Amino acid sequence: MPSAPRPPAASETGDPILLTPGPLTTSRSVKAAMLHDWGSRDDEFIRTNAAVLDRITALAGGVGTHLTVPVQGSGTFAVEAMLTTFVPRQGKVLILVNGAYGKRAAKICDYAGRAYALLETAEDTPPDSRRLAAMLEADPAITHVFAVYCETTSGILNPIAEIASVVERQGRRLLVDAMSAFGALPVDARELRFEALAASSNKCLEGVPGMGFVICDKAALAAAKGNATTLSLDLHDQWAAMERTKQWRFTPPIHVIVALHRAIEEHAAEGGVAGRGARYAANCRILLDGMRALGFQSLLPDRLQAPIIVTFHMPRDPRFAFEVFYDKLRQRGYVIYPGKLTVADSFRIGCIGRLGAEHMQGAVAAVREVIAEMGVSECGARHAA
Ligand SMILES: *Cc1c(COP(=O)(O)O)cnc(C)c1O
């Protein structure tokens, strides 16, 4: 006899639970912070804007040495702004690629006419520091190295501290895409030598989407005048105008900034990076243990798994169809994410956003029900793992 249908799982505002890499489930209070209109010259908004930027710099351990320059748009806008503001037109960037976001950096350089070289590894393999050192030694034209902290394509944690020390020893400059790491994994500019580091409002800070930002070494930013190849993504110009006028050059994403201010307060109340990182790590543990108990296999060994998003192999059972699995989970209130790996057929389940143990346990329970309903019993990898 079928059991009585339960209402689907829901967030504080009655929405499905987003187990995705962003946009994410946010708190009701973060969304509620947006229920006003402000003019861009409003004093209260100008103070809030300055506070948000200062607090981001402080979160990165950059007070006194670094400053944060915001840019309208999604995270990619910030990455593009970072690459094209800091890599001079005659510069060359070595891009470490083990997923879609590394490849996107290369595409940005293609558009912008910046020379680059690639150090590419498989999506389940971090870059090798000896190869990195050797490539830098062999090519003195390389001015910058671009690395992704957590490559969200697979969820792999790249060895960012090790990469930074090789880059520093070789006298080059490091640009970091920390989009899915910032706010949950440690970033301390006093230890991690970076010229610039990009992230956005809507990932581990748990704000709403619409704003990227780049934490910039002050001296390097001052020296970057004239590098940019687009007006709207010129971080030097954005910073210089903001210094003069306290305002954004073009329409600011005001609601996003006010929501981010609230989100950063909630981040601090949770214990900052350590507190947020611990909650995500606990979410990730529940997910991995629960899915493995059902027979699913994760792509990455635990030592390479960042507590952000987990890639699972597609089950080998012929009765498993991803679209059906996705829809049935969605009906139960959980939204998962397709894979975009080249190495294996996969899907992803995120651990970030305003989610706790009860959501992760609920998601695993929903997966158990759904595979039973589909008659799927063999959840091991379709391809040899
Ligand atoms: C989310 C993300 C980005 C930016 O993606 P947008 O869709 O432009 O917000 C860039 N790099 C990484 C590693 C990401 O996870």
Q: What's the whole-model pTM score? A: 0.97
Q: Cis before residue 23, ω within 30 degrees of 0?
A: yes
Show the tokens assigned to 324: 């059906």
**Ligand 1, atom 2: nearest CA belongs to which residue?**
179
Mutate to test the pocket of ligand 1, among 77, 98, 101 (most ligand atoms within 8 A of CB): 101
Distances (CA, A) of 146 to 93, 163, 291: 7, 10, 34
Measured from CB, residues less than 6 Å from any atom of ligand 1 are 21-22, 74-76, 79, 101, 148, 152, 177, 179-180, 200
The amino acid occupying position 216 is: C
Contacts of 7 (CB under 8 A, 6+ apart): none
In CATH, what class is 17-26+273-374?
A: alpha beta
What H or E segment, with its residue span, contains residue 68? strand 66-72
CA of 48 to the centre of ligand 1 (A): 25
Delimiting residues of CATH 3.90.1150.10 domain(s) in the chain: 17-26+273-374
Q: Distance of alpha carbon 343 from its chain centroid, rounded? A: 21
Q: What is the dihedral of CA 250, 254, 259, 265, to 10 degrees?
A: 70
* Ligand 1 atom nearest 22 alpha carbon: 1
Delimiting residues of CATH 3.40.640.10 domain(s) in the chain: 28-269
Contacts of 53 (CB under 8 A, 6+ apart): 67, 68, 69, 70, 213
- Sheet containing strand 144-148, edge to edge, reads 66-72, 211-217, 196-200, 173-177, 144-148, 92-97, 115-120
Q: What pLDDT score was predicted for residue 340?
A: 83
pLDDT block averages, 10 residues each, the chain of length 385: 76 96 95 95 95 98 98 98 98 98 98 98 97 98 98 97 98 98 98 98 98 98 98 98 96 97 98 98 98 97 98 96 97 94 90 97 98 96 69
Q: What pLDDT score was predicted for residue 382?
A: 83
Q: Distance of alpha carbon 33 from its chain centroid, rounded? A: 23
Kind of pairing, strands 337-338 and 334-335? unpaired
**Ligand 1, atom 9: nearest CA belongs to which residue?**
75
- The CATH architecture that domain 28-269 belongs to is 3-Layer(aba) Sandwich (3.40)
CA of 100 to the centre of ligand 1 (A): 9
- Cα dihedral sign for 345, 349, 351, 353? positive
Mutate to test the pocket of ligand 1, among 154, 156, 200, 213 (most ligand atoms within 8 A of CB): 200
CA of 177 to the centre of ligand 1 (A): 8
Contacts of 159 (CB under 8 A, 6+ apart): 126, 127, 129
CA of 101 to the centre of ligand 1 (A): 7
